[in-house]
Amino acid sequence: MKQADILTPVAPYLSARSDTFLIRAYGDCVDADGKIQARAWCEAEVQREAPFIDKANPIDELVGNLNPVNKTFGRRYTVASFRWLHPSEV
């Protein structure tokens, strides 16, 4: 078996500089006395993509050569999915 035999079937799903993160968040709504009135949980899947926020810098630009916007904010993120969670899921 060759390396290409393994990579060829997954090639459509590969991309350079793409990372996926699963982020969960929780929040309470409290009244003036501090009593919890509502609770919510959510989950977002975000993907870091190859392009920088400001596309003036090419994808493969060295960090030292980035413009100020890209030095500060880096690469672009995209929300791939979002959903509200049931309390039994956390």
Q: Which residue has the tokens 């500089």?
A: 17
Question: How far is residue 51's CA from residue 18's CA, in Å, rounded to a whole number?
Answer: 10
Domain boundaries, the chain: 17-89
Q: Residue 33: phi, psi to the nearest 5? A: -90, 0
Residue 1 — pLDDT band, cuts 50, 70, 90? Answer: confident
pTM for the predicted model, two decimal places: 0.62
Q: DSSP letter string over 46-63?
A: EEEEEEESSTTS-TT--G
User: pLDDT for 15-66, tens place per residue?
Assistant: 665 689 999 999 999 999 999 999 999 999 999 988 999 999 998 888 889 9
- Looking at the DSSP assignment, which residues form a beta bridge with residue 54? none
Q: What is the pLDDT of residue 9?
A: 83
Q: pLDDT value at position 11?
A: 73
The per-residue pLDDT for 14 is 66
